[in-house]
Structure 1
Amino acid sequence: MDNTIPAVSKARSGRINFSGQGGEFFGIWIVNILLSIVTLGIYSAWAKVRTTQYFYGHTKVDGHAFRYLATPMQILKGRLLAILVFLVVSVLSNLFPLFAIFAAVALLFVMPWLLIMGLRFNLRMTSYRNIRFGFNGSYGEAMLYFMLLPFLSLFTLYLALPYAMKKLDQFVFSNITYGGKSFVVNTETGTYYQAVFMAILVTLGLAAIGFMLSYAISPLIEGDIKTNPLLMLPLFAAYFVVFTLAGAVYQAIIRNHLFNSTELPELANFKSDVPTGKLFVVSLTNLLAIVCSLGLAYPWTTIRMSRLLAEHTEVTVQPALDLMRDQLAAESSAFAEDAAGLYDADFSLT
């Protein structure tokens, strides 16, 4: 008689494995561009599905890849509906000028709903280990965090904006579900203020250095700074360098804090350690590559950024994840998925 006790499964930690290649994605991307042009944009729905499936299929956690389940027709329906609404609003606005004001006000109230439906659709169409994601955010919360808090921060001279950004991130991520289980987010307001302060400090510091250099060399160059390309081009380039660095500072701090403060109880924990300097170098060189190649380097830059973020993201998978079942798929009807597809929108959660 075998008295061997089965080994207890343990938590498994590992970095996200992204295996996408620039050459492969370039082939997909250029075909998508050409066919979208030839079909007057109709193929863009197929292009989105192909692109998303490529990135999901090359992104693995614990040896399992993500899947994108949406069909091109679901996305095409949403885009055709959006075009139809836009045309109707444009015609009515030309015939009745007051209708344009009404439409603009109505859009403020419709936008949070569209954002919610877009998030819900994209997450519903995303699966990992045959278990789907979902989104439980409500319209009222979306109105508060997407619209009202950012608007009210105007009256504080934007001093409350970091708090509004923190609440928005917390709203989005804490309402994401996986197999019916919600993510838990414990972000801190202080970190958002720190990120904004560091980004502003970097911007002002580099701007001061730039002005001092311009003042020092301007006597050596003839002509007005506004008309002399020898001065305008370096200033133009410096502008992108400064804001790319400021963006990298903010993104690295917030992304690391957000991932490190988020967990899927009893199922998974997350860790991010993206270095600011590396993110800045990749962002800046990507920008230069796109400009110098007239956009043709876009696939390569996208792959580089995806690989960087994956290399600095760690996921700890708990044993309970092996026993999960897809509750969302069982509760969802085909009609609900088609209806959600009418309001497709793109969101990046990484």
Structure 2
Amino acid sequence: MEPTIQTTPPSTDNILFKGKIQFNGKAGEFFGIWIVNIMLSILTLGIYSAWAKVRTYRYFYGNTHVDNHSFDYLATPMQILKGRILAVIVFIIYSLVVQFLPVIGLLFALGFLFLMPWIINQGLRFNMRMTRHRNVRFAFSGNYGDALINFVLLPIASVFTLYLLMPYALKRIDQYIHENISYGGKPLSVNLKGETYYMAALITIGVTFAGLIGFAIFAGIAGVAMSFNGLDTNSLNFSTLLFPVLMAVMYIGMLTLVSGIYQSIIRNHILNSSEFEDIASFKSDLKPAAYGFLLFTNAVAIIFTLGLAYPWTKIRKAHLLAAATEVTIYTGALTLMDTVQEQQSSFAEEAANVFDIDISLT
């Protein structure tokens, strides 16, 4: 049975702010950060990548504003680096075990499957703890059992239903992630519906089939036209070179359109179904066609510039997502206390700091 959450917004008299998220990042600025990050990461054999992540996150967080208040990313490069060193050590051990003891390597892989929920929880917990707005931190409170069910058992079960269970599994994953987020100790209320995920899946499947049919028709017409004009598809000329390029562009266009449709439907549903009661509510009106076109043009730009357009695509995407997102903040936000900071002297907080590293590696 789907959870029922009463979403009765406070009176308009209690509204402190209502408006779109503002993103002020610029492609030129981020390009400078990005190219330096790449160069130093290469020169330091990847060690600087921890500093690169912090610089990137702080740039995007610092340029994202709600009610003239930007977000803060609090992680330090050493926290990121510790997580990556741990991942490298585990990978080396796994590679050696698989190479010399294949049977134990299989058990190692199985053990990693059961370790994955903990890794996911630690990654989410770290990212939330390191995110702050108006001097109030976010937090994540998921537990291992629920993560195991949602991230491991349900996706495996969907395989045995010919993936008919997959939309439900994806819904459960999103529900789990978002309902365990809190802001200043105030939990996020989420009411996601399975039917929306199945509708999104059916729409994307339909668009995919239509795209494949169009893809086949275009290929057939192009092949007939080339044969009719007496062109040898094995010889190098403008027509034979243009044909695979057009096919690749169409293929990218189909993938990005499908991705844009699904992501926009789900994003709108999640934000429109979530709220911090008496604190903030959200509204997303991301248009599938506009988002799909952005993903397509971004992919083409990255390919034809050999990756140099990546900073421009990141900034462009951030601008579109911000413009499609409205936030309403209520007077209850003034009463929030930064519970994470208040508990810094407690034993629980000190124990949490032992694993206060970027396990997710994102």
The two structures have a TM-score, normalised by structure 1, of 0.92
Q: Are residues 1:325 and 2:330 paired? A: no
Are the aligned partners of 2:21 and 2:323 in contact in 1 as well (CA < 8 Å)?
yes
SS of residue paired to 2:15: coil
1:209 aligns with 2:205: no
Please point out which of 149, 157, 162 is paired with 1:157. 162
Task: Measure, in 2, the Cα distance between the counterparts of 1:343 and 1:32.
Answer: 18
Q: 1:337 Cα shift?
A: 5.4
Q: 1:64: which partner in 2?
A: 69
**Counterpart Cα distance in 2 of 1:213 and 1:89:** 47
> Aligned letter for 2:106?
I
User: Counterpart of 1:161 in structure 2: which amino acid?
Assistant: M
The residue that corresponds to 1:342 in the other structure is: 357
Q: How does 1:90-109 map to 2 (within 5 A)?
A: 90-109=95-114
TM superposition shift of 1:282: 1.1
SS at match of 1:183: strand
The aligned residue for residue 302 of structure 2 is: 290
Aligned-pair CA distance for 1:207: 1.4
Tell me, in whole angstroms, the C-alpha distance in 1 between the residues paired with 2:53 and 2:134. Answer: 22
Secondary structure of the structure 1 residue equivalent to 2:155: helix
Note if contact 1:18-1:59 (Cα within 8 Å) is conserved in structure 2: yes
Other-structure match for 1:145: 150
1:269-288 to 2 correspondences below 5 Å: 269-288=281-300
The correspondence for 1:218, drawn from 217, 223, 233, is 223
* Partners of 1:346 and 1:277 in 2: CA distance: 31
> Quick one: structure 1 residues 68 and 114, their matched pair in 2 at CA, closer, same or farther if it must change by over 3 Å?
same
Instruction: Render the CA deviation track for 1:95-145: whole Å, top value 9, x for unaligned.
Output: 322221111111101111101001001110111111111101001111111
> Residues 157 and 288 (structure 1 numbering): CA distance in 2 closer, same or farther, change over 3 Å?
same
Question: 2 CA distance for matches of 1:68 and 1:126?
Answer: 5
1:5 counterpart residue number: none
| Paired residues for 1:102-251 under 5 Å | 102-221=107-226, 222-223=231-232, 229-251=241-263
Unaligned runs of 5+ in 1: 1-7
Structure 2 CA distance, aligned partners of 1:271 and 1:339? Answer: 37
Question: Does the aligned pair in 2 maintain the 1:255–1:272 contact within 8 Å?
Answer: yes
Cα shift readout 1:19-74 (whole Å, capped 9, x = no counterpart): 00000001111111100000111111111111101100000111111101111111
Q: CA deviation at 1:224?
A: 5.9
What's the counterpart of residue 265 of structure 1? 277
Corresponding residue SS for 2:71: strand
Q: Aligned residue pairs: how many?
A: 339
Contact 1:241 1:284 in 2 (8 A): yes
1:4 corresponding residue in structure 2: none
Question: Is residue 75 of structure 1 aligned with residue 80 of structure 2?
Answer: yes
Distance in 1 between the 2:217 and 2:203 partners? 21
- The aligned counterpart of 1:42 is 47
Checking the alignment, whether the CA contact within 8 Å between 1:120 and 1:340 is kept in structure 2 is no
Distance (Å, rounded) in 1 between the aligned partners of 2:59 and 2:359: 19
Q: Give the RMSD, CA atoms, in angstroms.
A: 1.7
Contact 1:122 1:346 in 2 (8 A): no
Maintained 8 Å contact 1:35/1:43:
yes
Question: Structure 2, unaligned stretches of length 5 or more?
Answer: 1-12
1:272·1:314 contact (CA, 8 Å) conserved in 2? yes
Residue among 18, 24, 37 paired with 1:13: 18
> CA-to-partner distance for each residue in 1:162-188, whole Å, 9 max, x for gaps?
111111100000000111111011111
Alpha-carbon distance in 1 for matches of 2:103, 2:51: 38
The match for 2:8 is none
Mapped partners of 2:155, 2:56: distance in 1: 32
Flag the 1:126–1:11 CA change in 2: closer, same or farther, 3 A. same
1: CA distance, partners of 2:74 / 2:138: 11
1:3 matched to which residue of 2?
Answer: none
1:209-247 deviation line (CA, Å, top 9, x unaligned): 22122222312214569x954443322221111111000
* CA distance in structure 1 between the partners assigned to 2:123 and 2:15 by the alignment: 36
2:314 alignment counterpart: 302
| Partners of 2:314 and 2:179 in 1: CA distance | 27
Contact 1:114 / 1:343 at 8 angstroms: preserved in 2?
no
Do the aligned residues in 2 keep the contact of 1:122 with 1:344 (CA within 8 Å)? no
Equivalent-residue separation in structure 2 for 1:126 and 1:105 (angstroms): 33
